[in-house]
Structure formats: structure tokens, C-alpha cells
Structure 1
Amino acid sequence: MKVLYINAGIEAQPRIKTGVYAGRFLGVAGLAFIGCFSLSSNGQAQQNSNRDAVVELYTSQGCKSCPAADEILAEAADDPNILALSFNVNYWDYLGWRDTLATQENTDRQQAYRDAFTKMVYTPQMIINGRVQMNGGDATAITEQLEGTKLQVPIAIQRSEDGRLSIEIATGEKPPFPVHVLIFYIRDSVSIPITKGENAGKSVTYRNTVADIDTIGLWEGKAVTFELPASELDRKDVTGFAVILQEFHEKNSLGPILGAALFRE
């Protein structure tokens, strides 16, 4: 396990980027807020991909402890009840290998969890439902935390005949904190040959690796539908997207996840 930023006040810490976790909606071109919830309707192919749990792995190609955790995440990604997401981070790039999948948004997201958990960031870190964290290589602890877990708010993602995507969020208990509707654009499976650093000579396969993150709205306990244009999946570097409802607490720290869904072509 590699640890960074043990001292929460260290000046060298990356700060949360405005526009990613500070409440500003990045927006999607052509996004339509419909404001109603209905399950399947005429002309739509049902793509209900609701998930009972979310498993996030913060990983790095430059961390020798991470490949074992990447394999655990890959197994979770095959479970139809789990939304498993891989977030490659960039703070180990200085050790000799630049992570080819890492983004600053992924690194910022892990930092936004810091106040809720250990006051530090490390790899491999696994976070379940935004509520608990653990070493991403501890399969036993991960299995125990997932037993009996079920997110409270159902989400359905559907695609109409003309290609438009509808994100339908059910009603639920009014949250005590702002709840953001987040979209994570993902690549289903990417194999990376690593030639330098701690994992030199290895080829590591990453599942559901996050390429980009957007905030498209707020959920206030009432049933709502967001509609995205067909062009959202035209990007060649992604194979689908996940939707997560998540509480945002003081200073934009991340709180519990209330609902999640996955859409693939």
C-alpha cells in the first residue's frame, strides 16, 4: 500500500478543482431536464441497469500493490448487482512511470473523500457506497462490507429509438445534504503494458476505468428524469457511462451514495 499526504495540512496537497466538486454544473450539451419519472414507455428499449452497491477503486500503474486490487475490482465488475469503477490517479507519476489512464478529476475525487475517512489518500484504496473505505487488496473485508448492502434510490437508464438517453431517478426520502447527479464516462476494459516504475514488465487490465466526470443536476427527493442526446456516447474513448447520486457535505467533501446505475452499448 502506498500512502500520500498523511498530514492533512500539507501545502503540497492537490486542491479540489472548482467545477468538479464545488457544486458548479459542468453540463452536457443538449441536456434536457424533464422533471418526471416513468419506467418504460412506448418507443423506448428498456435499459434498466440499477445497481445495489458502488465499489470505487483508486489505483495507479505506478503502485506495486495495485495489480492485486485491480483484479478484485475486475471480479466485482462482473457482478450485475455492483457498479465497480476504477479511478486511476496521478500522484505517483513522479516515481518514473506516468499513468496512462490517470486524470486530475479522478485524483480530485479521491481527495474529496479524505475528510470522511483517513485524512490521507493512498493506493489501492477501495470505497464502498461512499460510506466505508479499506485497502483495495483486502478481498475479505470488501466481501463483508458488500453483504446485504442495497442503495436506497432506484435509477433506470433507457435509450429511445432515436438514440436519446433518459436517466430516470425514482422518488425517495428528502436528503439532509445536497445530492448531485454525477455521470462517469467509462472504458469497459483496457490492458496497459507497463515498462517502467514498480510494475515494470507487467501488463495490467483495468475494468470500468473512469475517463471523465460531469455533474448534470441535483436530486431533491422527487422523481426526475434527465435526457441526454445520442451524441454523448459517440466519443471513441468510452464504451458507456455510470450515474451516481451522491451527497456533498461541507467544503465539498463527498458523502454517502444513494443510488447508482450503469449503461453500456
Structure 2
Amino acid sequence: MILKKMFAVGAFIGLMFAASAFVLKEEIKKPDPGFPSENNGLAVLELFTSEGCSSCPLADDLMGQIEKEYRNRPVYILSYHVDYWNRLGWKDRFSSAANSQRQQFYSRLLQSQTYTPQLIVNGKQEFVGSDRNSIENVLQNELFTAKNSSVYLSANTDQKTVTVAYKTSETDPKSTLLISLVEKKSSTQVGGGENEGHHLQHWQIVHEQKQISLKDLSEGSINFKIPENFSAENWEIIGFIQNLKSGKISGASKTLIQ
């Protein structure tokens, strides 16, 4: 009788351990509760940089790290190479006046200075582009609080053009859809200026950006001319919705080029 009781107690304890192990295993399998869902939150990071600026490589490298670390989250990085450094000893081959004008837009909107490397997050906050702590903090906040309106994109190529089809649920007549042709990664051996002799890596380079008013049209298509040495796997399309009066970004997405 005593042996039967001891056996019963031992079996009960064994079942309890098995149940605990099962619960623990199930808890480990649960997704991280701090991971935002696909439809909630977003962070559009716009970096203003230049190959002629000695402070910029740290910011460029940080964008590469963030791109890797947040690859599966709604984080969209666009690096705009400005042209006002070109007169100081080195012409940045990725630079354009349009990129400088984009930065000036933010300077007026946010009443901030124009400098490199400068990072704008969701069109409303600006930081030194290499300030990782500040950027990480705002990223965590925006991924939980910003509203991400639906933006649908697809992109195909022929021999001369990249054709991007777009559709959005945004109905605000004050909003604009900005669509960018982005090179994911490239590098340059710099032969002059502040970074002379350095081999610089770049990520998420904006080659061209087009604006589409959503006042009367929420779907359609646009074309980009295919750049030199184009290889589809190293390029993507990023689109985001912005109110150009307030700067607020309310939705974003990206797509590979087929």
C-alpha cells in the first residue's frame, strides 16, 4: 500500500514537471511582445550625407547597421547625398541639387540648421546622423506610436525603364506620395576633399525621387530611367506619404524590382 502511494506521488510530481516544461517551452515559442505588428508603427529615416564630409562615414555606416538590424521591421532608410560639398575638393557622384533642396525643405519646416550628417525621422524630428542612442530611442517610440497607412507598390523593368505601380488608402488631399529609386549598397574610393584616400561604403542611396499628389489620384504608375550598371537585385523602391505642410509621414512601404 505504501509503495502504491509512493508510486502515485512520484507519478504526480513527474506530471507536474512535464507540465511545467511544456508551459516553459510554449512561453519560449511566443513572439516577443515588444515587436510591433506589421500594420502599426513605422519609421522613415532620411539621412543627408556627402562623400566630401569627414563626419559622414560614421552616419553612413550606422544606416547600414540599422538596415540590417531592423530588416524585418517597418523601418525605411533613404540616404540623400547633397551637392553643396562638391566645391570643396571632391565631387560626390551620388549627389544632386534635388537632394540639397529636400534638406532645405526640412530646414524651413523644422527651423533647423543645414548640416551633414543630418537625420530626419518621420518628417518631424532631426538628429546628428551618427547619434546612435538618440536614433535608437526615437525608433522604438515611432514603431509603437506612428500610424502606418497602407501603401501598395510593385516594380518591373524593361530595357530602359523601371515602372512602379502604386495604390494607397490615404484620402487626405493635402498628402503627397513620394516614391524613390534606391540603390541598396555601393562604395567609392575618394580621391579628394576631407575623406581623401578613404574607401567609403554607402547604403540606401536615393538616385531619384518623384512626388505624386493624392488630391485626385490614389493609384497609378510612374517610370524611372534605368541607371548605368543597373542590377535589379541591388535596387528597390521606397514610397511614403507625407503632408508637405506639416512634414508628417503617415504611411510607407517598399518593394523589390522584378
Q: TM-score, normalised to structure 2's length? A: 0.71
| 1:147 maps to 2:140 | yes
Q: Which residue of 2 aligns with 1:98?
A: 91
Going from structure 1 to structure 2, the CA distance change for 1:224 and 1:99 (only over 3 Å counts) comes to same
Match of 1:90, SS?
coil
| CA distance in 2 between partners of 1:245 and 1:186 (Å) | 17
| CA distance in 2 between partners of 1:184 and 1:51 (Å) | 20
| CA distance in 2 between partners of 1:264 and 1:214 (Å) | 17
Match of 1:106, SS?
helix
Report the CA distance between 1:151 and its aligned residue.
3.7
Q: Which residue of 1 aligns with 2:34?
A: none
Q: Is there any run of 5+ residues in structure 2 with no aligned partner, and where?
A: 1-37
| 1:116 maps to 2:109 | yes
In angstroms, what is the RMSD of aligned CA positions? 2.9
Going from structure 1 to structure 2, the CA distance change for 1:83 and 1:203 (only over 3 Å counts) comes to same
User: Aligned runs of 1:73-222 on 2, under 5 Å?
Assistant: 73-78=63-68, 79=70, 80=72, 81-149=74-142, 150-158=146-154, 165-171=164-170, 174=172, 178-218=174-214
Instruction: Give 4+ residue runs of structure 1 displaced > 6 Å after superposition.
Output: 48-51
| CA distance in 2 between partners of 1:99 and 1:235 (Å) | 16
CA contact (8 A) 2:39 2:148 kept: no
CA contact (8 A) 1:49 1:155 kept: no
| 1:259 maps to 2:255 | no
CA contact (8 A) 1:51 1:83 kept: no
Q: Which residue of 2 aligns with 1:45?
A: none
CA contact (8 A) 1:53 1:146 kept: yes
Report the CA distance between 1:70 and its aligned residue.
0.3
| CA distance in 2 between partners of 1:112 and 1:237 (Å) | 31
Compare relative contact order (CA 8 Å, sep 6+) and give the higher one, 1 or 2.
1
CA contact (8 A) 1:49 1:156 kept: no
1:60 to 50, 55, 59: 50
Report the CA distance between 1:227 and its aligned residue.
3.0
| CA distance in 2 between partners of 1:98 and 1:234 (Å) | 22
| CA distance in 1 between partners of 2:163 and 2:115 (Å) | 39
CA contact (8 A) 2:181 2:224 kept: no
Going from structure 1 to structure 2, the CA distance change for 1:219 and 1:84 (only over 3 Å counts) comes to farther
| CA distance in 2 between partners of 1:226 and 1:139 (Å) | 38
| CA distance in 1 between partners of 2:164 and 2:49 (Å) | 30
Equivalent pairs, count:
207
